[in-house]
Each structure stands twice: as C-alpha cells, then as structure tokens.
Chains A and B, each alone.
Chain A
Amino acid sequence: MPMLEISHIAKSFADKKVLVDLNLTVPEKSIFGFVGQNGAGKTTTMKIILGLLPADGGEIRVNGELVSFGQNRTNQFCGYLPDVPEFYSFMTSAEYLRFCGEITGMDARKAQLRAQELLALVGLDKEKHRIRGFSRGMKQRLGIAQALLNQPKLLICDEPTSALDPVGRKEILDILVAAKEQTTILFSTHILSDVERISDEIAFLHKGQIQFSGNREKMLLMHKADGFEIETERGEDADALLGVFDGGVKQGRTLVVFEKGNEEQMDAALAHIVREHIAVRRVEKREATLESVFMEVVGR
C-alpha cells in the first residue's frame, strides 16, 4: 500500500487555478522530492494533505485513510515541517517537544526519551535557551525534531532548506537521510541539487499537474541529452574548432558546445585535438541533468 495517494485533486483561489487534476503516489520508505517553481502549488498541495485547506475536488489517502478538511484524524500518521515553522517562543526546545508529546497523547516517559534522542539528532540537546532567540537554522532543526516526535509514517517537509545557508542546508539534508530509516519523506523544493542529493523518487509539478513522476535514474534516462562539449585553454583554439567542425556553438570565451554531436563526431574532434596539440581543459559528453529535465518540463 502506498503511504500517500493523491487522486484528481483540484484547487482554485478565487479565479486562479492552482491545482488541476493532480495525481501522485508516494511509496513507503522513500524520500520523495516534490519539485516545482515558486508558486507552482507545492505548499497548497501539502496543506490539503494535512487537512489545513479544503480541496475543490478529488481525494487524498494517507496510509489508506481518507483525508478530510478541518478534521485531522489522518494527521496522526503525519509529521509536518512548514517552510517557516513557528513555535511558542516562550518555551525551550525540550519544553516544546514535551508539549508536542502531550498533545499527541504519547506516554510521558516515552516522549521524554524520544525528545532527548531527537534533540541529539538535530544538535539542539545542549541548547537551554528559549526558542525566542533561535536562528532560522535552529528553528528548522527543531521543526524536524517535532515532526519526527511521534514516529510519523509520513514526514511532510515544505521547502526545508530554502531559507538556509549552505551549512544549514547540509545539516538538514543529512538529518532527512538519517530519518529515512524510520519514515517515508515527502519534501518540496525548488533547489534541484538538494533533490539530486537525497531523493529516490521525484515528481515535477507544473501548471497544476504532475508533469513527471518516478525514479530519478529512470527520469534521466528518459530525457537523455545528446552532444558533447569541449573547453579549451585559449580562446583562439575554440574559434579554430568552430571552423573545423560544424554544428558548434560558442559559450563564453573558451567553451564550444556541440548540441547535436554524436559519438563519431566526438571521436573525430578528439583525434583533431591530439593531432594539433590543442590544450584543452576538458572534453565531456553531455548528460541530462535534473536541471535540463526541469527546464524541459517547464518549457524554458
């Protein structure tokens, strides 16, 4: 059984259609990257999953149970990390986690042990100050801790790394990878390198629909790019290459890209480089990247 099943969800705000017939299936124990531009509807989708917003049509099942707006029965399976998590700033992180344990009806002793474990996981176990003075990264880490507290079957993270510096981002991604042992993770982002780094499955959201969904390797294979590129040491050599081989386009001073170039042409170019003793920095076969696939999907 999939952990999350979204079928035919539609949602409009006033006359703006945000989601049109959205379908998505998140398998158990995966890290699912939910990619889309700003304003594509990622947050809206997540809020509907959590019953914080009503959908105009369609249905969502979490762990097999139907989600309904306002009533949050299915939320017992979910942990949620909003893009900017807000806590009761008059509490310390340990107090906040204890409060979370209490409102989810966890056994007090179990909750306390779990809170200690999680605070250590996110590196806040030595932090005794109130949340009022926390930095964004610290709040994000506490956000993950509270989301994982009741061992949710599904962890929903809304742009967990967008507001963070490189160090903070790496910390969050590492925590998510560590959390994968315990739960299924759905995280939204527009930072493709984050998706590349940790996710097993990917979905691209564009124009209110899922444009592609599935395994990362499969996606890159399906969108195989052609061609090769050569970067020379000197600008004159790059110009010379353009004169010898057809179909090249110069990018910058020293880079020549052959977008439609095949293997034979690449061999010929290599032979030419050796023969003429051209100093090159690199010769590379072009491969599809998430970025190129994403650009293709959004039609840029």
Chain B
Amino acid sequence: MNTLAAFFRKEWMEWVRSGRLIILLLIFILFGILNPAMAKLTPWLMEMMSESLESTGLSVTEVPIDALTSWTQFYKNIPTQIIVFVLMVSGTFTAEYQRGTLILVLTKGLSRWKVFAAKGGFLTLAWSACFWLCYGITYVYTDFYWDNSIASDLLLSAALLWLFGIWIIALLLFFSAIAKSSAAVLAGIGCLAFGSSILGVFPKISMYLPTKLLEAQALLTGAAKIEDFRISLLVIGVTSVAAVAVGLVVFRRKRL
C-alpha cells in the first residue's frame, strides 16, 4: 500500500509544481464568487440596458432576484467548469505514455493497477475539491445576500452534478487506457458527453442519459423529484464501473 501512496504523492507533486492544481482551484473559486455576483448584478445590468432596450420598443420590468437566481448561475456554469477540468487533466496518462516516464516506474516492479488507481484516485480527489469549493463559496455568498432556505434539496442536487463529474473521470480513465494521445481521450469523452446531451432533446430517452443529471436544478424548486433521476443514476453507476473495470484490464496489458 505504501507504493500506491508513493505514486499518489508523485501525482500531488506534479499537480502542484506544474501549477495545474492552483489554476484549477482558482478557476473554481472564481466561478464560486461569480455565481452570486452575477445574480447580484442582474438588476443593475438590466437597468443599464433598459434605455437601449426601450428604444427598440421593449420595456423592462423589475426582475425578482433571490437565492435561486444565484443557483441558476451555478448550474449554468458547471458544464463549462467540467470542460475546463477535462482539458486540464486529459493528458494525465497520455503525457506519460508520450514521454516514456512510466517505463522506469513499471520496470521497478510497481504494479500497473496501482498507477491506474493512484491517478484515478487523484483525479477524483481533485474534482471533488474543486467542485465542493465552488459549491461552498456560492452557498455562503448566496446565503449572505438572500436566503438559501427557499431552495429545497440543495446538497442533493449538487451531489448529482458532482456524480456527473465522476462519470466523466471514469470515461477519462477508460479512454486513457485505450488511447495514446490526449486528443483521442478528449474526442472520446466529448463524443459520449455531447452525444448524450444531444440525445437528451428526445423526452422519451432523456431519463436514461447521464446528462439528465445536469438538470438537477429542477430539484431546488420541486419541479422534479429525486425519483426522476433514478434511472439516469443507475446508468451512470453501471457505465462508470464498467469503464473503470475495462480500462484497468486494458491498461494492464497496454504496450508502453
């Protein structure tokens, strides 16, 4: 187990020294502050624009701003943050393949599953830290300006978004095991994620799709119930486990 921890520490050192960790944290913190800030600024923005809108015949009435406005921003921004996260970490395996740095590690007798587990574990931890940090900041500011209690199931609905990120990480592990370049990894994840969101326009199948979880905001107003996400959660769970399991099998036999 110590050897696994050693590789985990190497990941940590790499993330810290390459600046990747700090950049990701800063981006997620920035979004965390931006979500309530945008909500706060909305009336002012509307007022600014109202004059020019009036000249086109549109009249602006007062927009009600509350905690839900801030959370709407949160849900709107998370997909962008996931894309940034994936772009930043897509090379976690492939950069090592291309540079050949894993050769020495593996010829020293470190088991391949430990490399896979350490990288997967680190990605999960990094995603969780970034996500919950962003959530926490949005939560505190929103509570400060308005009242979070008008939204129901805040934590639960955020957890669904977080799980969507975990699904993306599982896909990243799978595509990193079969592909050689980070472009291929990105293409694989992109196809599945965008494919799922495009198929989501058909109401009949949308409940089966992983991207359904991105609509978890509906829980806040009571427009949806957790039961509505049950099938989608099941699909995410099964495909994540399958992606990691198949990825591990392929990685163990991968030629480096």
Contact = CB atoms under 8 A, between A and B. Distances in A.
B99 interface: yes
Interface in A46-78: 50, 52-53, 69-70, 72-73, 75-76, 78
Nearest to B256: A52
Nearest to B253: A70
Report whether over half of chain A's contact residues are helix, strand or loop; otherwise say mixed: loop
A178 to B, nearest CB: 21
A52 B2 contact: no
Contact of A105 (B3, B103, B106, B253): B3
A70 B3 contact: no
B60 interface: no
B125 interface: no
Nearest to B1: A105
A90 B255 contact: no
Contact of A72 (B9, B10, B18, B106): B106
A88 B14 contact: yes
Contacts of B108: 75, 100, 103-104, 150
A70 B112 contact: yes
A128 to B, nearest CB: 15
B104 A102 contact: no
Nearest to B106: A72
Given A102-B3, A104-B3, A75 B109 contact: yes
A87 interface: yes
Interface in B88-139: 99-101, 103-112
Contact of A103 (B6, B101, B103, B256): B6
A134 interface: no
A109 to B, nearest CB: 14
Nearest to A50: B107
B23 to A, nearest CB: 15
Contact of A86 (B6, B13, B104): B104
Contacts of A105: 2-3
B104 A85 contact: yes
Contacts of A78: 107
A146 B17 CA distance: 22
B252 interface: yes
B13 to A, nearest CB: 7
B249 to A, nearest CB: 10
A103 B110 CA distance: 6
Given A102-B3, A103-B7, A88 B101 contact: yes
Nearest to B16: A90
A91 B10 CA distance: 9
Interface string B14-29: 1001100000000000
B109 A76 contact: yes
Contacts of B5: 102
A102 B5 CA distance: 9
Contacts of B110: 72, 103-104
Contacts of B107: 50, 52, 72, 75, 78, 80
A277 to B, nearest CB: 64
Contact of A52 (B9, B17, B99, B103): B103
Nearest to A101: B6
B101 A52 contact: no
A43 to B, nearest CB: 12
A27 B10 CA distance: 37
Contacts of A75: 106-109
Contacts of B14: 88, 90
A102 B2 contact: yes
Given A75-B107, A80-B104, A105-B3, 13 more contacts: A52-B106, A70-B252, A82-B100, A87-B104, A88-B13, A88-B14, A90-B13, A90-B17, A91-B13, A99-B9, A102-B3, A104-B110, A146-B104
Interface of B: 2-3, 5-7, 9-10, 13-14, 17-18, 99-101, 103-112, 252-253, 255-256
30 contacts: A52-B106, A52-B107, A53-B255, A70-B253, A72-B107, A72-B111, A73-B109, A75-B108, A75-B109, A76-B109, A78-B107, A80-B107, A82-B100, A82-B104, A84-B100, A85-B104, A86-B100, A86-B101, A86-B103, A88-B10, A88-B14, A90-B17, A91-B13, A99-B10, A102-B2, A103-B7, A103-B105, A104-B3, A104-B108, A104-B110
